[in-house]
Structure 1
Amino acid sequence: MGALSPWHIILIAIVALLLFGPNKLPELGRGFGKMFREFKDATNGNGGNTATDDQPVPVRKEINPAEVTNAESGQVQK
């Protein structure tokens, strides 16, 4: 069993066209593309947050109201 020849690929395409029809094939292609993209992201460790990966996550600093710095003296009030 070697690699698929062009004739094998054409035969698979004709069978898929006959089974699913021309209206369903683009939707199936998008579904497979999304599945492979998510699989690739998961194996690379990206976690699947493709929309927010470009933007840095803002770091929030916890503020304890009991310890407020006096701006004039620079001392911490407790």
Structure 2
Amino acid sequence: MGIFEPHHLILIIIIALIIFGPGKIADLGGQLGRGIRDFKKAMHEEEAPAQAQTAPAAEPVREIRQAEANVVEPAAAAKEVAQSH
């Protein structure tokens, strides 16, 4: 089947209990959980400022698009000048 079958995992857990004891394993589990929780918290804190920095960028983009809409093509401008003379 695979490298680790269920009876292999049970044997590893029993050996770990004998070596470290149930108290030490509980402490390690708590530290691991705390580390994961702190990591997730730091990731969420990093996302919030990044989202706040990108929100005001929508206004300059809108201004650029409006400016692009008002741009007259050079060929059209030359045609209008030629027709007016």
Q: Give the TM-score normalised by the residue count of structure 1.
A: 0.42
* Structure index of larger Rg: 2
Say which structure, 1 or 2, has more relative contact order (CA 8 Å, 6+ apart).
Answer: 1
